Chain A
Amino acid sequence: MIELTEVSKVFNQGRPNECRALRGISLRLECGGITVFKGPSGSGKTTLLTLVGCLARPTAGRITLDGQLLSNLPERFLTEVRRHTFGFVFQQFNLIRGLTVLENVMLPAYPLGRPHHQLRAAAQTLLDRFGIGGKAGSRIEWLSGGEAQRTALARALINDPAMVIADEPTANLDSALSREVLALLGELALQGRTVLISSHDPLVFAADHVKRLIELRDGQMVGDGSC
Chain B
Amino acid sequence: MPALLERQKYLIDYTLAALLRHKTRNLGLLLVYALLVFLFSSVLLLSQSLRREAATLLQDTPEVMVQRLVAGRHDLLPAAWLEPLRRIRGVSAVQGRLWGYYYDPAVKANYTLMVAPDRDLAANDILIGAALARIRQLSIGDILSLPTTTGKPLPLKVAGILDAASELLSADLMLLSETGYRTLFNPPPDTYTDAVLTVRNRREARTVAEKIALALPGSRPILRTEILRTYDAVFNWREGIVFITLGAVLLAFMILAWDKAAGLSAEEKREIGILKAIGWETGDILRMKLWEGALLSLTAFLAGYALAYWQVFYGGTRLFAPVLKGWAMLYPDFRLTPAVDLLHVLALLAVTVLPYIVATLIPIWRAATADPDAVMRG
Residues of A within 8 A of B (CB): 46-47, 49-50, 55-57, 75-76, 79, 82-83, 88, 90-92, 94, 96-99, 103, 107-108, 110-116, 155-156, 159, 167
Interface of chain B, main secondary structure: helix
Residues of A with C-beta under 8 A to B282:
75-76, 79
Alpha-carbon separation in the docked complex, A80 to B342 (Å): 43
A111 touches B14 (CB 8 A): no
If the complex has contacts A46-B376, A167-B376, are A56 and B371 also in contact, measured as CB distance less than 8 A? Answer: yes
Is B151 positioned at the interface, with any CB of A under 8 Å from its CB? no
CB A93 to nearest CB in B, in angstroms, measures: 10
Alpha-carbon separation in the docked complex, A55 to B11 (Å): 22
A50 touches B369 (CB 8 A): no
A155 touches B278 (CB 8 A): yes
Q: How large is the interface on B (under 10, 10 to 19, 20 to 34, 35 or more residues)?
A: 35 or more
Is B142 positioned at the interface, with any CB of A under 8 Å from its CB? no
Alpha-carbon separation in the docked complex, A12 to B21 (Å): 35
> Residue of B at shortest CB range from A46?
B376
18 contacts between A and B (CB under 8 A): A47-B373, A55-B375, A76-B283, A79-B279, A82-B277, A82-B279, A88-B277, A88-B278, A91-B376, A91-B377, A92-B378, A96-B274, A110-B280, A113-B10, A114-B6, A115-B6, A116-B6, A159-B279
B376 touches A49 (CB 8 A): yes
Count, A-B residue pairs, CB within 8 A: 91
Residues of B within 8 A of A (CB): 2-7, 9-11, 14, 17-18, 20-21, 267, 270-271, 274-284, 369, 371-373, 375-378
CB A44 to nearest CB in B, in angstroms, measures: 12
CB < 8 Å neighbour of A110 from B11, B267, B373: B11
Residues of B with C-beta under 8 A to A107:
14, 275, 278
B17 touches A99 (CB 8 A): yes
In this complex, the member of B5, B267, B271, B373 whose beta carbon has the largest number of chain A beta carbons within 10 angstroms is B373
Q: Which 7 A-B pairs have the closest CB atoms?
A: A83-B279, A113-B3, A113-B7, A98-B21, A56-B373, A110-B10, A50-B373
Residues of A with C-beta under 8 A to B7:
110-113
> Residue of B at shortest CB range from A79?
B281
